[in-house]
Amino acid sequence: MAFEIRSKDLLGRIGLLRTKRGTLQTPLLLPVVNPNSQIIPAKALQDTFGYDALITNSYLVWRKFRGEKDVPKIHQLLNFEGVVETDSGAYQILQYGDVEVRPNEIIRFQERLDSDMAVILDVPTGQDASKDRAKWTVEETLRRADQSLKVIERRDILWVGPVQGGVFPDLVAYSAKEMAKRDFQIYALGSPTPVMQQYRYDVLVDMVMAAKMNLPPDRPFHLFGAGHPMMFSLAVALGCDIFDSASYALFARNGRYMTTQGTAKIEDLEYFPCSCPACHKKTPDQVKKFLLMDRDRFLASHNLHTCLGELQTIKQAIVDGRLWELVETRSRTHPALHTAFNRLLTYAENLEEGTPVRKKKGPFIFTETSLRRPEILRYQKRLLERYRPPTRATKLILFPESQLEPFQEDSTLQNSLRRFERRSDVHICAYGLTFAVVPQELLDVYPLSQTESALSPTNMAINNALKRITEYLKAAAYARCLIFVEEPWQVRVGRAIRTKFRRKMKVTIIEAKSYDKQLFSKAMEALK
């Protein structure tokens, strides 16, 4: 296989993509290089900035050398020693409606260019197409895919099969399912650029997920045109492995300075919130006095550093198991990203399937939104499906989770707990806002004791905990339940449980201001 996955978190992967010219690590950004005009020379992308791969437009090269017998190899033409992916002209179809080159012709031309990765000439859907038009672009792209696979001779090139369908998730799903039947080494989501340019990231979430859920997981997924670093973490969490973008240069020509929180105009800046090699020892006032060409080159350089730095941050987050935290943090930088993050939550079960069971670090819980993260959903699901209380236990004691934390050193509490533990009819559990209910024997299991939470007892958090505790109690079917309560929200939960189970289980609520011998004597009396 050309693609090997090394680390995972959510649907994000760190992978190794093997090409005939070298191995690349994903998530991977391919800067778009115009073969006829380069604000940053292609050679500098690798030597100065650390980009080992780029993408260029084979259609523009074809127009330049049309009819000539001797065509330079693409690496020679660009003066670039790294991996080169070539697009086929679909962007020009999206912009201008058509191109002069035929699908089979551009396939053969990319083989002559000696591309490392290459895209067939698909028909982009765009975002304004009617559903009938969108359906036609899907069918025509599939027809061209079949035609291209018959023409392709160079199997050392990694060929990209684009998925179309635009803003219609059902068509995207159909396109992906059908394209998956064709043997491409890489799959891609076609024509999402207009959606991203308008910051419709919630629509993008649906488009990407419709494609990802119907494509083979052992192949990398390319999101065409994803160029702003503030949305990279979201896209990676959705399972995008490869990006390409000309935004570093386009934004520079418009005087725009990229950050992971958004974009600023250079004339509005008094300070650079960055210490990349481009910004180091420079001030905005100095840059504003540059000649226009020098200013554009400075901004393009900074933008490239910012994009690469964000990808490195994302990779480390995947290794640490902290991709959720990063995506949630980035979602607070722009309302469109926050809307997209909320949309992402509707695919929580899909995210759970891709998240490792164990990680190097425990999750951080900040708000109710964090309760939808995969580790918590997985625990709640497995508690109901895979766990059974001790066989002879007919009585349940629920302690606030702070009292049953591992390595608890309160001797009075520990001595009293041992009295309960010696009784085979008693089962001890902790309860809280994050995991709802945790049997004592599971407290040390990841991620229960490794999770750190700042969750406040809001109505949503309390109702969620109550729902989960109720589900557990229904499945376990105890005869008695004793609940220790310390805070008002716990009293509320205890009373709700008592009301809910008044005909099936005797529920006793004990207010615990301090865990002394008198309190535990009262508890023992209640269990008789």
Write out the two tokens for 168.
């219609």
Helices (DSSP H) in 355-454: which residue ranges? 374-386, 411-421
Could you give the CA distance from residue 171 to residue 139 in angstroms, rounded to a whole number? Answer: 10
| Partners of 483 in the β-ladder | 398, 509
Contact call for residues 187 and 179 (beta carbons, < 8 A): yes
Helices 459-476 and 374-386: crossing angle in degrees, nearest 10, is 20
Residue type, 225: G
Could you give the CA distance from residue 495 to residue 483 in angstroms, rounded to a whole number? Answer: 10
Per-residue buried b or exposed e for 83-104, using 16+ beta carbons within 10 Å of the residue's own CB: bbbbbbbbbbbbeeeebebebb
Could you give the CA distance from residue 300 to residue 42 in angstroms, rounded to a whole number? Answer: 13
Which bin fits 219, alpha (ψ -120 to 50), beta or left (φ > 0)? Answer: beta
Could you give the CA distance from residue 15 to residue 38 in angstroms, rounded to a whole number? Answer: 29
Contact call for residues 22 and 35 (beta carbons, < 8 A): no
Could you give the CA distance from residue 201 to residue 337 in angstroms, rounded to a whole number? Answer: 6
Burial of 440 (0-12, 13-18, 19+ CB in 10 A): middle
Which of 9, 87, 114, 122 is an active site residue?
Answer: 87
Contact call for residues 494 and 507 (beta carbons, < 8 A): yes
| Angle ∠(430,432,437) on CA atoms, nearest 5 | 50
Could you give the CA distance from residue 134 to residue 171 in angstroms, rounded to a whole number? Answer: 8
Could you give the CA distance from residue 167 to residue 154 in angstroms, rounded to a whole number? Answer: 33
| Partners of 84 in the β-ladder | 54
β-strand 83-87 against 117-119: which pairing, if any? Answer: parallel
C-alpha neighbours within 13 Å on the C-beta side of residue 33:
29
> 């190899």: which residue's tokens?
73
Cα radius of gyration rounded to whole Å, the chain:
29
Q: Can 87 be counted among the known catalytic residues?
A: yes
- The dihedrals phi and psi of 33, each to the nearest 5 degrees, come to -120, 120
Contact call for residues 261 and 333 (beta carbons, < 8 A): yes
> Which residues are the active-site residues?
87
